[in-house]
Amino acid sequence: MIPAIFLVLCAVAYRIATGLMIHSGSTWLSNFAPLAALALCSAAYFPARLKFTVPFAALLLSDVVINAAYHAPIVDGIILCRYLALAIVGLIGLAFQRRRSLATMIPASIIGSTVFYFITNLFSWISDPGYVKNFAGLIQSLTVGLTQYRSTPTWMFFRNSLVSDLIFTAAFVLCMSFGQSSADTHARVTTPRPA
């Protein structure tokens, strides 16, 4: 469990660092933060009291730091939508908690990233007056975004979040598997053999 918590802390630190560096010209870092994977893996692996508190606390902590740096409000519609999307991804993680393995969690990570992307972009399309409220506007919100953000189209946000989620999920599953196999080995070594 300790390596997994360390990985979560690294993900939070990484999100804060990339969030602060993004306006320095590092647009390739846009959305390269494993938020969906954090929610997915926490729900699938952590004990009941930590399943949702860890990802939401991580997101809240990073939001507070990033939003303070940009003088943005800590609570608004898109932030609440992001929390809702993470809760849904967490429910996907709950569905996989009895079948946890790299073979099941990687496809779950792809599903989680896609769900997160569609929910947050659907909300942007509905709430942002810059989007035309028709099918073409929806496609625009899912592909190129608004003209003022053309340097980082929304498909790039999706690609970056998908890649970061896959990397984090694989690292998380491997950490948990290593921790479990170490615990099993320790238990076998320390268990006295019957005479």
Residue 6 has pLDDT above 90, yes or no: no
C-alpha torsion sign, points 81, 87, 91, 97 = positive
CA 166 from chain center: how many Å? 10
Residue-wise pLDDT tens digits, 60-103:
999 999 899 888 888 889 889 999 999 999 999 999 999 999 99
Residue-wise pLDDT tens digits, 101-145:
999 999 999 999 999 999 999 999 999 999 999 999 999 999 999
Q: Are the beta carbons of 42 and 176 closer than 8 angstroms?
A: no
**Mean pLDDT, the chain, as a whole number?**
86
In which residue are the tokens 């992001």 written? 82
Q: How far is 46 from 62, CA to CA, in rounded Å?
A: 20
Q: Are the beta carbons of 85 and 117 closer than 8 angstroms?
A: no
pLDDT at 10: 86
pLDDT at 106: 96
Q: Residues with Cβ < 8 Å from 24, sequence gap 6 or more?
A: none
Q: Give the up-direction half-sphere exposure of residue 19: CA atoms within 13 A in the CB hemisphere.
A: 21
Per-residue HEC secondary structure of the chain comes to: CHHHHHHHHHHHHHHHHHHHHHHHCCHHHCCCCCHHHHHHHHHHHCCCCCCCHHHHHHHHHHHHHHHHHCCCCCCCHHHHHHHHHHHHHHHHHHHCCCCCCHHHHHHHHHHHHHHHHHHHHHHHHHHCCCCCCCHHHHHHHHHCCCHHHCCCCHHHHHHHHHHHHHHHHHHHHHHHHHHHHHHHHHHHHHCCCCC
pLDDT at 189: 57
pLDDT at 192: 58
pLDDT at 118: 96
With bands split at pLDDT 50, 70 and 90, how would you rate the model's confidence at 24? Answer: low
pLDDT at 103: 94
Residue-wise pLDDT tens digits, 154-188:
888 899 899 999 999 999 999 888 766 655 565 55
> Of 8 and 3, which is predicted with more confidence?
8
pLDDT at 26: 57
Helix, strand, coil percent values for the chain (each to nearest 5)? 75, 0, 25
Q: Are the beta carbons of 44 and 96 closer than 8 angstroms?
A: yes
Which of these ranges, 18-22, 41-45, 171-175, has the smallest mean pLDDT? 18-22
